[in-house]
Structure 1
Amino acid sequence: MSRTPNFTGWRAVILHREDTNTERLERQFGLLGILSTRRWEPMASWADTDLVLVDADQGWDDILPPADGPTGGPSSKPLVALLGSEAPGRIAWAMGRGASAIIAKPVSASAIFPALVMAVSIHRERLAVAEELRYLEERVRLRPLVHAAVEKLRAARGLDEDQAYATLRGLAMQRRLTMEQIAAIVLGGAEPLPEVG
Structure 2
Amino acid sequence: MAIQILRDLRGLRVHVVHPPDSERSKLVEHLRRIGCMVDAHWPVPDSWADGADIVILSIEHDVRTEIQRLLKSDGSRRPTLIAVVSYEDPTTLQLVLEAGAVAVIERPIRPFGLLTNLTIARSLWLERREAAKKLHKLERKLAGIQRIQKAKTILMDGQGLSEADAYESIRRQAMSKRLSMDDMAAAIIHANELLQYRPKGD
Alignment-derived partner of residue 129 in structure 2: 127
Q: Does 1:51 align with 2:57?
A: no
By how many angstroms is 1:165 displaced? 7.2
Amino acid at match of 1:84: S
What is aligned with 1:80? Answer: 82
Please say if residues 168 and 183 of structure 1, whose CA atoms lie closer than 8 Å, have aligned partners that are also in contact: no
Alignment check: 8 A CA contact 2:152 2:167 kept: no
**Aligned partner of 2:120: which letter?**
M
The runs of 5 or more residues in structure 1 that have no matched partner are 190-197
What corresponds to 1:193 in structure 2? Answer: none
In structure 2, the CA distance between the partners of 1:34 and 1:69, relative to structure 1 (3 Å rule), is same
Maintained 8 Å contact 1:52/1:80: yes
Distance 1:55 1:113 in 2: 18
Deviations 1:40-73 (A, max 9, x none): 30213213322111112445231362332427xx
User: Could you tell which deviates more after superposition, 131-140 or 88-97?
Assistant: 131-140
Runs of 5+ in structure 2 lacking a partner? 192-202
After superposition, the Cα gap between the structure-2 partners of 1:103 and 1:158, relative to the gap in structure 1 and judged at 3 Å, is same
SS in 2 for 1:53: strand
TM (norm. structure 2) is: 0.70
Alpha-carbon distance in 1 for matches of 2:166, 2:89: 56
Structure 2 distance, partners of 1:118, 1:101, is 7
Q: CA, structure 1 residues 37+187, in 2 after alignment: closer, same or farther (shift >3 Å)?
A: closer
Residue 60 (str. 1) matches residue 61 (str. 2):
no
- Residue in 1 that maps onto 2:76: 70
Q: Percent identity?
A: 24
- Matched residue pairs, number? 183
Cα drift, residue 135 of structure 1: 3.5
The whole-number CA distance in structure 1 between the counterparts of 2:190 and 2:19 is 60
Equivalent residue for 2:5? 4
Letter matched to residue 5 of structure 2: T
Q: Does the residue aligned with 2:76 lie in a helix, a strand or coil? A: coil
Distance 1:169 1:156 in 2: 13
Cα RMSD between the aligned structures?
3.4
Which amino acid is 1:67 matched to? S
**How does the TM-score come out when normalised to structure 1?**
0.72
Aligned pair partner of 2:37 in 10, 26, 35:
35
Shift of 1:164: 4.8
